[in-house]
Amino acid sequence: MKAIVVTEQAAGTAGMKLMERPEPQRSGGSIGDVVVQVRASGFTRDELSWPSTWIDRLGRDRTPSIPGHELAGVVVALGYGTTGLSVGQRVVGLTDWTRDGTLAEYVAVEARNLAPLRADVDFAEGAALVMPGLTAWQGLFDHGRLRTGQSVLVHGAAGVVGSMATQLAREAGAYVIGTGRAAGRQMALDFGAHEFVDLDHDALEDVGAVDLVFDVLGGDIAKRSAGVIRAGGTLVTIAGPTEARPVGGLTIDFVVVPDRVQLSELVQRFRDGRLRTSIGKVADLVDAVAALNPTERPKGKTIIRVKGMSS
């Protein structure tokens, strides 16, 4: 099969190559696996800095490895012990960080990491929901315990993850303050933010007390954010560990995990128009290396189409 492969961490995305790789075994593979024919794949820019791209769970070199962990596709084979899926079914999901990923024609993935994708959702949209949607959901509701009537400050509200968090928080009945650069103001408001703080020109400290901060930026912005959290509130960050602590409250940094139930909730919200994705560029697998090495900082999620993309 055709796949994007990386072999050398220092090379970054410039080291990506389109190559022939063996297809995952359709039978006798790992227990609980299904094989999915990938139709659309998502890649996160930081992936090539994660140890799991280069070594397996026992610390052994696993190169050449196939990056990309978000997918929409069609189940083509079921292994022993898989539940809830059938051959021919359309699915979305998030694959294991320490195994070969989705920038390929086929991928082996644990069935529990997949959720059904109804026929009225385009594969590209499905793939674009996965990582940003799960990250926003888990940050707001699992870790942030956001409830109706609470207030949340969402950093990077016009960005890929922040725009999902803005929409989900608004729908949950929270008061949403989005932040970002001036150019992102209208987009953040369109995604549902009640107000917007331009971090380059407005004082974050003027926001007043919020129950939750959803941080995607880290660094100094995460530190300053702790000061705008009500006593006992929570700072949730996806930008890595931070020393910042709200008074009497919690700071939680986390990495997104697959979740079938949450994926199904996200797909349903997309279908009935409550949730929009933030797709930037869409390219075919043969053009993926160029698409994932843009000359300018990309806006929106880059989605790679595999196998012609008819839905």
Ligand X SMILES: NC(=O)c1ccc[n+]([C@@H]2O[C@H](COP(=O)([O-])OP(=O)(O)OC[C@H]3O[C@@H](n4cnc5c(N)ncnc54)[C@H](OP(=O)(O)O)[C@@H]3O)[C@@H](O)[C@H]2O)c1
Q: How far is CA 81 from each of CA 85, 108, 109, rounded to the nearest angstrom?
A: 11, 14, 12
Residue 184 binds ligand X (CB under 6 A): yes
C-alpha span between 114 and 153 (Å, rounded): 30
Contact with ligand X (CB under 6 A): which of 101, 162, 178, 246?
162
Residue from 158, 169, 193, 292 binding ligand X (CB under 6 A): 158
Under DSSP, is residue 92 helix (H, G, I), strand (E, B) or coil? strand
CB of 281 to ligand X, least distance (A): 13
Both structure tokens of 47: 């992936």
Q: Which is nearer to ligand X, 44 or 82 (CB)?
A: 44
Span of 29-37, 142-150, 178-186, 262-270 interacting with ligand X by CB under 6 A: 178-186
CB of 234 to ligand X, least distance (A): 16
Do β-strands 106-110 and 195-198 pair in parallel, antiparallel, or remain unpaired?
unpaired
Binding ligand X by CB under 6 A: which of 107, 256, 282, 285?
256
Least distance between ligand X and beta carbon 274 (Å): 19
Site for ligand X in 124-143 (CB under 6 A): 131, 135
CB 156 within 8 A of CB 218: no
Residue whose CB is less far from ligand X, 37 or 44: 44
Q: Which residues, 186 to 215, sit near ligand X by CB under 6 A?
A: 199
Which H/E stretch holds residue 224? helix 219-225
How far apart are CB 246 and ligand X at their closest, in Å?
Answer: 19
68 binds ligand X (CB under 6 A): no
* Displacement of CA 227 from its chain's centroid (Å): 28
Report the length, in residues, of the chain: 311
Residue 19 vs 189, nearer CB to ligand X: 189
Residue 46 within binding range of ligand X, rule CB under 6 A:
yes
List the one residue from 40, 117, 160, 226 that touches ligand X (CB under 6 A).
160
Residues 157 and 143: their CA atoms lie apart, in Å, by 18
Q: Which amino acid is residue 189, in one-letter code?
A: L
Contacts of 202 by beta carbon, 8 Å cutoff, 6+ apart: none
**CA 301, CA 131: separation in Å to the nearest integer?**
10
The residues of the shown chain that bind ligand X, judged by CB under 6 A, are 44-46, 131, 135, 156, 158-162, 180-181, 183-184, 199, 216-217, 238-239, 255-256, 299
